[in-house]
Every structure is written in C-alpha cells, then in structure tokens.
Structure 1
Amino acid sequence: MFATTVMSATGAVAATKAAVHKNKLPVHETKPKKLAPQIQQDPEEIKVSADRPLAGGLMKRQHAPEATNSISALAIQQRGAASSPLQIAASLPGVNFGSSDAYGLSVRNNISVRGLDSTEMGWTIEGAPGVDQAYYWPYTETWADNENISDITLIAGTSRINDPVQTASGGEMIETVRDPSRKRGAYVDYSYGSFRGQRVFGRVDSGEIGHSGIRLFASYSRTAADNFTGPGRNTRDHVDFKAIKEWSDRAKSSLFISYSNWDNARLAPYTLASWEKANKAGDNFSQYTYAGNYTPGVTSNYWKSYVYKRTNVLLSWQNEITLTDKVRLHVVPYFHWSLVDSPGQTSIQSNSFYYGNEKVDPGLSSATTPAMIHSNQTEFATGVNAYIQYDPTRHNHLIAGYWYDHWNIEQSGGLTPLDANGNSPNATGKYVLRSPSGDIYGGTHYQESSQVNEFYVSDTQGFLNDKIKATIGLKTMMYYLSGTNQIPGGPYHFSSAFVQPMPRLSLSWQINKALQVYINGTTNTRAPVPISTYPTTYSVSTGKVSQAGNTNAKPEYSIGEEIGLRYYGAVHFDMALFNMNLTNHQLVALTYLNGAPVQQAISAGGETIRGITAELATKPFHGFSPYINGQYLHTTIDNNLVVNGDLLPTAGKTMVASPKFMANIGVNYTHGPFFANIAFKWVDSQYSTFMNDQSMPAYKTVDLGLGYRLPRFSVFSRPTLRLNLSNLTNVSYLSSIASIQTNSKATKGIYGTTIAASTPSYYLAAPFSAMVTIGSEF
C-alpha cells in the first residue's frame, strides 16, 4: 500500500489513518468521499508519504525544504493514554523536554529545541494559534486528547510562512486533530496506574448525518493522579468536539472546540544542593517539597496555597474553498479564552502593608496574617488568518495572506487570609482583600491588550518538471501593545509597538525518488513576553518596585540557515546542518512575586547557534522497526550581560539549557495482535547559569510499551490492552531548569564590581510509573 497526501492546516494525514486502520488500532476511518484538492498550506508544504509506518509512526517521509519531523497517530496511540503532547514530542530530534509528572498533569513542563525554549516557538492547533499570549507558554495539555490527535509535527528553527504565530523565532509545533469518522461508532478506554493514576475517555462519532455532508464527534476525558512525592492530587477534565461540512467537491468547513479544567498541585523546585542531599536521603524527596500539614504561625509553604488552576476554551473554524481551478481560499477564524490562578503563600504585616507604593491598613485584627497570594488572569484572543493561493501554471504557486489577532488580559494579585486549617475562603481569589472603595489590594493589577497585523506573500517556482523548486517569501509583522497599571505608583498607561519584516528563501532538489537535498535561509521574530515585560509591579510588604515596566524592550529576531539531505530507500535518513544568529535573545525563568510563582523575562543579548540533527529509521523487518535520532549543538553567548550596572564576562560562554549532545534510540515491534516499543533517551548536561559555573547533570531514561489486540467479541469491535512503563530503571534525576541565574559563584565584573552569587533551581523528574489501558471501538 502506498499513500501520498499533503498535510494542510487541518493536518489531515491520510497515509497515517490508512496505516492505523490496517493495524487495527482504535481509530475508526473509512474510505473518504472524493473532495476538492486540499489547499496547499505553504509553498514550503509539508508532504507526507509512506508505504508502511516508519518505526511505528515515529518518522514520516518529508519534502518541505526545512528540518521537519512528525509523529503519527499510530505512534501517539501506543504511548501512555495520559501522556501530554509534549511528552510524546520529546522523542523528536533535538527536543529537550523535562516534566515533573508522568501523566501530563503538571505545569512543570519545559521544552526547548536547538536551545530555544517554548516561548520562542510558534504553536498551532487546527490552524489556530494555541499559545497563551500572557507568557507564550503553549499548555498543549488543554488542546486535545491523545485519542483525537492525528499528527504532531515539529519544524525546528523556523515556521511556515502562513501560520498565525508571533513567537516562532526558534521553530513551530503543529498539532492536528482527527476528522470525524464517516461511519457511526464509539470508542471508550480506561487507564489505571501508579500514584493512584486514573483516566477515562469516551468518544462518539455521528457518521455522516443523512446526506448533508455533515459529520461530527464529541469526546470527554477525566484524568487524576497523586503527586509522586509530597501532598496533593491533580485532575484534568477535558472535552473535544469537531464537526465537518463538505460542500460538494468545492469546499470544506471544519469546526473544532475544546474545553479543559485543570488543577495541578505543584511540586516545589529544588536547588542542586538540596536535590543531591534529598537523593542520598532516599526519602522520596519529601524533605524539600511543600508541607502536607498546616500549623498556624509556623507553616509558610502549605501545599494548598500552590495549587495551579486553569480553565481553557479554544475554538477554530477552518474553511477551504476552491474558487476556480487555479484559485483557492483558506479562512480560519478562531477564539481562545482562559481563566487562570497561579497562587502562592505569603504573610501580611498589618503595620507594613502596601497597595502599589502606598502604605495602607489591610483591616485585619492580627499583626501578622498568613495569606494566599493570587495571580488571577482572565484573557481572551480572537482573530482570523486568511490567505489565497493562485496557481498561474502547473509549476508555480503563489500565496498571499493576512493575519489579524486581538488579545486582552486582566491580571490581579489579590490576597486572601488563611484560616486556622490553612484554607483560603476562595481558591480563585473571589474574596480578596479590598479597599473601602472596592479596589483589590495587592502588588499587581493591570490590563493589557495587543494587536497583531501580519501580511505575507510567497511564491514557489518549479524547474525540470518540479525536481528543483525555488521559494521566496516575505512576512511582515506589525505589533502594538497597550495597557494600564491600575494600582498606585508607576505610569498609568504604557504602550509599545514595532514593525518587523521577515524575508525567507529556499531551494530544494529532488535528485531521484529516494534522494532530496535542500538549502534555506529564514528569518523570524518574537515579541517580548507581555506579562513579564511591560507592567510595573510592587512588593506588598515594602512598596518597592518588583518589576519595572520596560516599554523599550525590543523583539527577538533570528536569522537561520540550513542545509539538509533526505534519503528514503532501504533505510530512511534525514539530516540537517543549521546555523542561527539571534539578537535581543529573551529567555523566561521561574521567580516569585510576593510569594506567587511567576515567570520573569531575561534579556540575554546575542547568541550564535550551530549544530547538526539526524534521524534514521527502517521499514519493518520481521516485525522490528528500529529508530534513532541525535543532535550535536554548539551555542555561544555573543555579549557580556549587564548586571547591576556592570558587565558580567559571559561573551563566549555556552548558552544555558543547551545540552551539547542528545539522542533517542527506539525499536518498535509488531507481530500479529502483539505490539511493543522501547525507547532510550540521553540528554547531556546543560548549564543553568550564564557564567557556566553550575550545570544540571546529564540523564538517561528508558520507556517501555506493550500491547495486545484482543479478538472481536459482542459489541467490542477492536478491543486493545496495553501497558506503558515510564522511567523503567527508576532513575532519580532533574528534568529541567526552573530558575536560570547569571552566576552561582561571586564573580568580578568587567568594571570591577563584585557580582553576588545566585542559586539556580530545577524541577524533579517523575520516578518509575506504570499505566495499563484497556479500550475498544463499538
């Protein structure tokens, strides 16, 4: 069987679904009706071809003239049912990922590609931006359930020119959702695992409703698990809905809606010294985590004060219309709404309590009152991305489009006193302390609103019967942000704006059916992180400025080049050599604002990134499909960093969170109804300070998956049983850097000032865990 498809913004990958159907995994799909040709999403289109799944769906045949890697539904469905999309994507080449949880329930997730973190990547789901525009974090756990994901694709170092992304200086992650089945049916699975982990998932497909061309599915899941150390239980309720309408053979519309309600009892970050001490103690790291019991006047880190809450709604409405044989239109309106509370614990000193920079009386009877400090955020984004494709000849493809996005947030850092049992009267900050006039007392309260207007055009010309393709494109982002500080002190109104053109070009040569080479030059940008750059915030205990708003912050800008080679024959091999230069490089790190854990922006100046990424897989041989990928990365900080009016001598140092070597080795096995996979990951040590005087240790992990397809019986058409084991060898390790610091040892600056030491912190990795899942179609 040989299938070829083009993955458009909807991400429908027919080859993957055919392979899944052949292997009788729980994805229900029948032969589709004849439709109009799918709109080419980009002259740098992502094409996927496969005669059989490579390495169990861990590798796909690619044609785009840039480093592109994908994971199919086949591989996704063999992973743990509760795994987050980022945990699944961790097996892609060059992905550096760490999590404090095995079930996708923790917000302690960090991911970077080529040394650039998640805030420097573009994130799209069903053609719409999925990123939270407050911090530029993706929170992919709120997008879609694994059973509904048809493809996860990573473009390292750049983005597709016509995708709605404003943060893609370091790459783009694209997630697509399965189409509703043409045949009516249902699917249910249940999972149980370590740490009282439980998950239930159910989906119903309507099939085609009459002869209307309409079909839809709706699904619900609930996931819950205890923390592997310390107190707290985490939960996630999620709903997915997708409807498709086919307008004869000339147009297609699809509506995707998802809803999530997520509570995460966070784990405290560790310093390197405390981790080493706790690791030797062998007490499951319970010594340094949040307190499980509350004693009034004594406990200052009670776990209930650190429970992260997030409610999220995402909507994407994709429309593909064939206007003429040469002209096609693609329009995607979208909506994204979220309600967040990221709290912490503090204490209110009645004789030293400030509202902004004004000293006030909190109206409490005690001189010292324990309190929960909230970071309440209500935000929404609306927008539309539209482009037209014109094919004047069979060998020329022109795209011209426009993207508009409007985003708004209101944030407040109110306080609620704790009772004698350590409970807050309302975990979402409803009953916060207020002034006599009704203002929320706290060190932060602001509103921000941004607008993105982006125009793009791209033209691809084929030569020698399209064996050689040349593409030239330009996108221009016009960004405007304004806001108001709604507490005393600082400027009431603030604003910032920039215009950034981003040219790109590429050339690919399909030498023969098996061999392709390409070269490209791309530019991308990322606006400063809104919530940790522009507002001015204050300490509630001193009235001093905690964060000075910076309206002069410049956007990050990247210039990248790649040379790539792909070979698909007896073995399948994909390699890319890359070079990238960044200016105004900006990172994010954990910090605490009045006791609440938040993200801070760090300006790191310029950076040079060079390296090589390679991926190799084979076709199945006697049921075995080996897979391996690896990356060598060399990063250099180009500037000395400004610290307290002096310069820290960082020029020439290695950038933080940039391991020199990474590798993934895996084998998939399928024989009759039995399937299995084993994956080994190695991540080299990585610096956590710009002076390179402290690093996070290297680590190695092994994951194992086993599955069996049971025979059909009664109404159960495709019952499947699988067991997933994570961190099989139960290695204790740090998974990622929480708080990046300038230097961990006192250092003399260029101008002679002694720059004091600061201590980085890290997130714990989850220990061994096991989860068994049983599910079936009906």
Structure 2
Amino acid sequence: MTVNITKKMLLGACSLVAVSAVAHSEETAADAYVDDAGVEEIVVSAEKTTFANNATDSIMKDQEPDAASVLSVIDNLPGIFVSEGGTFGSDDWSTTLSIRGFTVSLSEQQVGMTIDGLPNGNSNYGGGAKANRYIDSENLARAVVSQGTADIASPSHEALGGTIDFVTSNPFEEQRFWASLSVGENNAQRYFFRYDTGEIASGTRAYLSYSNTTNDAWIGDAGGTTRDHFAAKIVSEQDEWTFTGRLSWDDTHENNYQRISLAQFEEDPDWDRLTDTITGIPYVDQVYRPGWGTLRENWFAYVKAEYEGDSFDFTVAPYYHKNEGRGDWIPPYLVAVTGGDEQSNGTIFGGSAAGSYTYTDSNGTPLAPIEGCTATLTFPYGGGAPANNPACYQTGAIPVGSYRHTHYAKTRIGATADAAYRIGEMNTLRAGIWWERSDRDESRDWHKVIDSMVGIEFDETAYWRQYDRNFITDTFMAYAEDTFEIGDLTLRGGVKKFFVDLERNDNFGNEATQSLESNSDILLSAGAIYNLTDNLEVFAGFSQNFAAIKDGIIEGQASATNPNIPDLEGETADNYDIGFRFSNDWLRATLTGYYIKFNNRITFVSEGDPIGGIDYLEEGEGTYLNVGGIKSKGVEASISADFADYWNIYSSLTINSSEYTETTAEVIEGNKVALAPEFQLVGTLSYFKDGVRAGVSAKHVGERYGDFANTQEMPSFTLVDAWVGYTVDENVIPGIQTIDVSLNVTNLTNKNYLGGGTPGSYFIGADRQVTANLTLKF
C-alpha cells in the first residue's frame, strides 16, 4: 500500500474548502454556558496555545445518542480515530483509540486521559479506567484533545501521543430535574436522571445524577452489558475562590467481543467467532460469549480549590480512585496443580500446572482418549487435539472445564497543585506538582464448572489460586514554565521531570520483592504564538513527552528462569507542531503540521531476536529492552462555518505517516505502524432553528496495515451517522419546562468494517444502531 501524500493533501484541501463547521467563539478555549432558556450550550474553539489542540462542540454531542460513550464524541476531531466494538461503547475489551500513530488498546497505552484535569489512572484493560467509566454523556461539557505537544501540567505518565481532557459540566444555577429514556436495537435501554439543586447557599449549587444502561450483544443472540452510574458535583464561588467537589461511581458487567483475522473477516464480516449456545463440548464452549466477561467498579472523587487574584492564581486538587474488577474466561480443561499450599477449603495457593485434563469418569478420575483415536474438532482456533473431542472417549465420559477469574483492584490517592504569578502585563511564571501513590493488586483463580454439559455455572470455591501480586507505584512530577508576551508575539518555555518508583510484591511470599526506578530526564517544552492579524495566528511548539515503565515489566521478569529486572529507561517522544489558526464571527480554520520521534520503546525480546543485526541473548532467555522506536509526521486540518443563519458545516482532515525506526522481534524498520490510519476525512452538515436540530456526518478512514510485517491491508471504509431532534421549551404540559425527542442512527448504511485491535487481529466495528430518546425537564 503506497500513500501518495501530495495527492491526498490536495484532495483533503479541496474537501475542506467545500465543507466547514460552526464555531461559536472568537476567543480562546471551549466553554459551556447557560442561555436564557436554561439550556446548556457547548461553545468550542481551539485554545490559544503554542501546540495543536481541538475541542468537541454541541454538534458532535448531538451526533451521538445520549447512551453513547463519551469517547465516541471526539472521533470527528482531526488526528483522532476511535473504535468501539460494542453498542454505545459497551465493551472496554474491544475499545481502541489512535492519535498520530500512538494508541490505546489491549497492548498499548500511549495517550493520556484526564478527568477535569486529573489523572484517570491509566487506560489499560487490567486495572485501568478510560473516561467512559467516569462520565455520562449528559454530564460532559466538552473534551479537549492536545495532540502530541500537550500542556506541561498534564498529570499523566503515558501521554506519549498527547492528552485528552474530559471536562464535566457544572451544576445549573436554577433548580431542575431531568428524566430521560433511550431505547434502541439489540434491546438497548437506558434511564438517566439528574437533579440540579439551584443555589443552595450563596454562590453554591450542586447536582446528582444516575443512569442505568442495558443492551444485548449486537453479534449473535447471547451476552450483553449492564451498567449503573452515579455522579454528584458541587461548585461554590466565593469572591476570589472557587471550590469544586465531584464524586462518580460506575458498576459495569460487559460481555466481550473477540478479535478475528483479516481472512475471517473476509469470510464472514458479521461474526467474531464467539458462540451463542452451550454445546456440552468444553473446547467449543470456550468461545461462548457469556463466559467472556469484564466486570468493573470504579469510585472517583476529588475536591478542588481555585484562587484567582490580581497577579497570583493557585489551584490545589486532591483526589481518590478505587477500582475493582474481574476478567472472565472458560478454559476447556481442569488444571492438574503441583506444589503450592492447600488451604482448609481445598484451594491450592501457588504451585504450577503439571498438566491438564478434559474428561473424567463418574468418580472424577481423569481419562485419556481412546488409544489410536485421531478425530479432532475443527472449531474454534483451527481445532483441538483428540483429547478435546468427545468422540475419542468411551460412552459415559464426563467433560470438565474451568471458569477462570483474573481479579484486578487498585487504589489511588494523589493531588495536583498549580500556581501562576503575573509579573506586570507581559510575563507569567507558572509552576506545579503532581503526586500519586497507586496500590494495585492482581490475582488469578480457577473455578470448576459445575456441569460442562449444561452451562458455565461454577463452584464459588476456587480449586487453584494461581498467583497473587501487588504493585506499588509512587509518582512525583514537578514542572515550571515562563510565558512572555511582546506585542503580538507570545513565547513559552518550560521544564518538567518525573520521579516514578515501582515495587512488586508476591502476596504468596514465594518470590523476592522487585523494585524499579523510572525517573525521566529533565523534559523540555517551548513554543510561540504570533498574531499576524486580529483573526489569524501562527503557532509552533516543541515538547518532550514521557511514559513511565509499566508494572507489567516487573510482572513479566520476576520468574525463576529470569529473576533480574532489566536496566530500562522510560519511553520518550519528541513532538514538534507548527500551524495556523483563523477565526472570525462565522469562520474558523486550523492547519497543523507535526513531526514526532518516539524513542526508547520498550519491547520484549526473545532468544533469537536480532537487535541491530546481533543475536546476543543466551538460549532460553528473554528480556525487555529499550530497542524500539516510531517516527510520525503529518498534517491535520479543520474548517468550520456558520452560513445561511441556521446551517453549519464541519470538516476535518488527517494525513499521517507513522513508521518503525528499528528492527526487533516482529517489527521491521521502515514498516508502517500497525493499525495507524494514514488518511481520514470528516464532513458534517447540521441544521438548528426554533428547537429543531438535524444533521448528517460522514467519516472516511483509508487503508491501514494491520500487522507488523505490513502484509495485511485492512480495507478502507466510510461511516455515515444521521440525527434529528426537537425541543419544546414553552411549558406545553403543566409542570414540564422542556420536552426533547431525538432519533440517532449510527452507521446509517450498515457498513461492514474492521475497527481497532492488536497487530494481526482485529475487532469488527458495530453495525447500524438506531436509538430514540425522550427527555423531560421539570
């Protein structure tokens, strides 16, 4: 696949001339305000910064159903690719996100996420939590994406490719009660309630909200999602001080979607190879969808005190996060455990697998297949051995299986503090810190399926607790920045440094404590903005981004065969942005060029993998090394306009080229980065007048390589969304202030496509979803 960058730039430029989007602000930043009717409107524009950034607007929210994940709202911004395999983003396992060749997926966490400027606690599947775990779409004010060169104060140590800040809405100034109902395909149903107190004390207001969401899996006839979410927020404005407190709780049980190969997609693009019924054959039933589960509960709370004086500003924000959860799977065998400590309830702690068995006699004694039987199953995964096939056993043999639980738990406590001092009218000094202590547990236990012939119900008492580990991560970040204004020119320069200490403990006490230091060098950032005219500015920025070493590095290295922790450095990325921003009363446009060099990529290298052409590992060895790298370059653009009073047009363009810079393991120098889109084009046409809103939006994603070897080309696709809604604010029914009805159709043409995944295996994108919503405000 060869990308003609010049041709695509010309195509994109022509498209951008033809399409644009509404912009409601001529100044900086995206804000939310309440109009005279009490309806919250999201006002959006790129912030006046020395780096590329974009923010969502109300039209992007209208495009998505109220029940949708907040991650879906950012998908039309330049540089962004979001793929969610489940209806309304209802499966964290299949959710992926890409920015400029950096990804958040099952295998990578390279983009930072913050909630009201506070860290989300990483985005990985095993103990992480993306923004959709913290926010309902109705409570989202906006999402601000800083692609590449992010704000120096951003509290994340995985933000190699930038940061996404999800900003929650503030309470209304007047008392109000909301109630809304959403219904859709696949038995989707969602209730949402919110109560705004109005002013309960001088300058003080609050809200409480709750939602319940259920939906079936859109593939097949089994499995689905249930989600309960609660949020509360209070804001008090007292002279120069603003005090904010927020609490969210999210409890979710999701059945997963599975990755498939490109050949499987071409064979049947509507099936992810998980099944809907129990066959009584454990090898086949290991892909029974209800046995693939993600269970997560998240509590997140913070308080924030902000002071704004004549020349001095100060903010401090302590926070607390508790995450508990489980990942489920149904292995088609029971494990024969050797060693370990047997507890009084029969559970074996520790030890190792001496083998496994798949069928027993009536007394529970493991059986071997009939000698000479060669019959094998053909599904799934290409089929199993004769030991998995009931045809290779005498009549009366009993199939057995396990229900495997991987338990995740994490508690984070931390705080951020930021201060800014203005020296005269031209110079502002800013400094701040971020401190956090994360205490994460991960364990795995195996339960016997009670009767594999009839279902997946399991014995509550585990027969084996395979491992139990604890990880402590202490993070301290400090930064300082100086901003200087000389007429139309603004200059910015700053430094930042991370101190990250990681410790691993074996809760069984069988392995020594492992520790690893992951401090950064001093990280530099710089930038400039120059106002060419009142409406046009040019900006340029540079930053060194940093990702600390993850605790999985220690987990993988602490073993009897290789107990030593490697001498590693954290991953870094040098980001360069240069671009233009234009805005007036009706038109906005942005154009950004960027170059990113990702260094010190941590890669697991096995024996036989050549590093720099040299194979130097001893037989049987494997280790993590700083041997990887990526370089990305490209162009991002957006244009927006109000026209004909009630019409808005929006378009964004992304042209990206990301390549690996070193050869190691499966990665080949010069190959394109797997799963990174190279060409994206968005066009949106919307209408709003007298309470009626409607729109249609299309996004085209070009071909991508899906694997490291660049042998699998994932086909391009175009998705179309449409929506229509009507709001009545005239008290047509006594006691009801507002009635709103809407209909959203995502993937209008029911396009079959592959979304995200991991290199070589991909998730099917969700099919057409039609959702109706009714909202009443009292």
Query: By the TM > 0.5 criterion, same fold?
Result: yes
Aligned match for 2:192, one of 186, 201, 206:
201
1:329–1:62 Cα change, 3 Å: closer
Larger Rg: 2
Does structure 1 residue 143 correspond to structure 2 residue 129?
no
Paired amino acid for 1:717: Q
Q: Match of 1:473, as an amino acid? A: G
Deviation (angstroms), 1:26: 4.8
Give 1:495's aligned residue.
Answer: 516
* Counterpart for residue 309 of structure 1: 295
How far, CA to CA, are the matches of 1:273 and 1:519 in structure 2?
44
Equivalent residue in structure 2 for 1:567, among 575, 578, 582: 582
Query: Match for residue 554 of structure 2?
Result: 534
- Post-superposition Cα deviations, 1:211-270, rounded to whole Å, max 9, x if no partner, equal 3x32110000011110011211211110010011222x1201100110000111111211
Confirm or deny: 8 A CA contact 1:376 1:411 kept in the other structure.
yes
Q: Which structure 2 residues correspond to residues 110-189 of structure 1 after superposition, within 5 A?
A: 110-118=96-104, 119-132=109-122, 138-189=129-180
AA partner of residue 666 (structure 1): T
Q: Distance in 1 between matches of 2:268 and 2:353?
A: 41
Deviation at 1:620, TM superposition (A): 3.6
Match of 2:402 in 1: 371
Deviation of residue 344 (structure 1)?
A: 1.1
CA contact (8 A) 1:242 1:257 kept: yes
Letter aligned with residue 769 of structure 1: Q
User: For residues 342-387 of structure 1, what are the alpha-carbon distances to aligned partners after superposition, in whole Å with 9 as ceiling and x for unaligned?
Assistant: 1212144454667656457999944374111111011011101012
Contact 1:616–1:627, Cα closer than 8 Å, also in 2: yes
Mapping for residues 448-463 of structure 1, pairs under 5 Å:
448-463=471-486
In structure 2, relative to structure 1, the CA distance for the partners of 1:101 and 1:290 (3 Å cut) is same
Contact 1:571 1:618 in 2 (8 A): yes
- Asked if 1:432 is matched to 2:433, the reply is no
Give the direction of change, closer, same or farther, for the CA distance of 1:423–1:349 in structure 2 (3 Å limit): closer
Cα gap change, 1:195/1:92 in structure 2, threshold over 3 Å: closer, same or farther?
same
Code of the aligned partner of 1:722: S
Partner of 2:49: 64
Secondary structure, aligned partner of 2:73: helix
Equivalent residues of 1:61, 1:568 under 8 A apart: no
Aligned match of 1:48: none
Deviation at 1:186, TM superposition (A): 1.1
- Counterpart of 2:683, as a letter, is I
Q: Is the 8 A contact 2:282 2:332 kept in 1?
A: no
Q: Select 2:596's aligned residue among 580, 583, 596.
A: 580
Question: Which stretch has the larger CA shift, 551-560 or 170-179?
Answer: 551-560
Other-structure match for 2:689? 671
Q: Separation in 1 of the partners of 2:67 and 2:564? A: 39
Match of 1:504 in 2: 525
Indicate the residue corresponding to 2:765 in structure 1.
Answer: 765
Counterpart AA for 1:631: T
Q: Which residue identity does 1:176 align to in structure 2?
A: V
The 2-side partners of 1:337 and 1:366 are apart by: 43
> Are the aligned partners of 1:362 and 1:433 in contact in 2 as well (CA < 8 Å)?
no
* Paired AA for residue 431 in structure 2: A
SS at match of 1:141: helix
**Alpha-carbon distance in 2 for matches of 1:66, 1:269:** 36
Taking structure 1 as reference, are residues 686 and 672 closer, same or farther at Cα in structure 2, changes over 3 Å only? same
Please tell me whether the aligned partners of residues 331 and 404 of structure 2 are also in contact (alpha carbons under 8 angstroms). Answer: yes
Q: What whole-Å deviation, never above 9, does each CA across 1:191-229 have from its counterpart, x for those lacking one? A: 101111111101001111143x32110000011110011
Change (3 A) 1:173 1:61: closer
Q: Which residue is equivalent to 1:619?
A: 642
Verify the 8 A CA contact 2:28 2:45 in the aligned structure 1.
no
Cα distance in structure 1, aligned partners of 2:656 and 2:131 = 26
Q: In structure 1, how many angstroms separate the alpha carbons of the residues matched to 2:329 and 2:625?
A: 22
CA distance in 1, matches of 2:77, 2:511: 45
Are 1:471 and 2:492 counterparts?
Answer: yes
Q: Is 2:756 the partner of 1:736?
A: yes
- The answer on whether the counterparts of 1:337 and 1:380 sit within 8 Å (CA) in structure 2 is yes
Counterpart position of 2:616: none
| Partners of 1:386 and 1:402 within 8 A in 2 | yes
- Cα deviation, residue 409, structure 1: 0.6
Report the Cα offset of residue 136 of structure 1: 8.3
- Check 1:699–1:552 CA distance in 2 against 1; reply closer, same or farther (3 A cut): farther
SS at match of 1:173: strand
**Cα distance between partner residues in 2 of 1:264 and 1:603:** 35
Deviation at 1:529, TM superposition (A): 2.7
Q: Is the contact between residue 678 and residue 702 of structure 1 (CA under 8 Å) also seen in structure 2? A: yes
| Aligned counterparts, 1:374-773, within 5 A | 374-420=405-451, 421-425=454-458, 431-434=461-464, 441-442=465-466, 444-464=467-487, 467-486=488-507, 491-530=512-551, 532-536=552-556, 550-569=565-584, 571-585=587-601, 605-642=628-665, 650-710=668-728, 711-713=730-732, 714-737=734-757, 739-740=758-759, 760-773=760-773
Q: Distance in 2 between matches of 1:587 and 1:222?
A: 41
Change (3 A) 1:104 1:191: same
Give the Å deviation of 1:567.
1.1
Match of 1:293 among 251, 273, 278: 278
- Give the drift of 1:622: 3.9
1:511: Cα distance to partner? 1.8
Query: 1:42 aligns to what?
Result: none
> 1:277 aligned to 2:297?
no
Q: Which amino acid aligns with 2:500?
A: Y
For 1:593, the equivalent position in structure 2 comes to none
Alpha-carbon offset, residue 389 of structure 1: 1.0
RMSD of aligned alpha carbons: 2.8
Q: Partners in 2 of 1:652 and 1:625 — Cα distance? A: 41
Measured against aligned partners, the alpha-carbon deviations of 1:56-108 in whole angstroms (never above 9, x if no partner) come to: x6x52431111110013464245211111111111111111211123121111
Measured in 1, the distance between the counterparts of 2:624 and 2:401 equals 29
Aligned structure 1 segments of 4 or more residues deviating by more than 6 angstroms: 1-6, 360-364, 600-604
Report the Cα distance in structure 1 between the residues aligned to 2:88 and 2:698, rounded to whole angstroms: 19
Deviation per CA, 1:672-705: give whole Å up to 9, x if none: 2211111101111222222211132221110001
Does the 8 Å CA contact 2:274/2:288 hold for their aligned counterparts? no
**Could you tell me how far apart the structure 2 residues matched to 1:159 and 1:229 are?**
38
Query: 1:763: how far off?
Result: 0.4
> Is 2:227 aligned against 1:233?
no
Instruction: Return the TM-score normalized by structure 1.
Output: 0.82
Q: Which amino acid letter does the alignment assign opposite residue 189 of structure 1?
A: S
Instruction: Rate the CA distance shift 1:620–1:218 in 2: closer, same or farther, 3 A.
Output: farther
The answer (yes or no) to whether the contact 1:719–1:774 under 8 Å persists in 2 is: yes
Residue identity in the other structure for 2:773: T
How far apart are 1:462 and its partner, in Å?
0.4
How many residues were matched structurally?
679
- Identity across matched positions, percent: 19
Residues 403, 341 of structure 1: CA spacing in aligned structure 2 closer, same or farther, 3 A cutoff?
A: same
- Distance in 1 (CA, whole Å) between partners of 2:511 and 2:332 is 24
Report the alpha carbon displacement of residue 571 of structure 1 after superposing the two structures with TM.
Answer: 2.8
Structure 2 distance, partners of 1:681, 1:360, is: 52
In 2, are the aligned partners of 1:244 and 1:254 still within 8 Å (CA)?
yes
- Mark the CA change 1:75 to 1:172 in structure 2 (over 3 Å): closer, same or farther: same
Q: Which residue of 1 aligns with 2:7?
A: none
Q: TM-score, normalised by structure 2?
A: 0.82
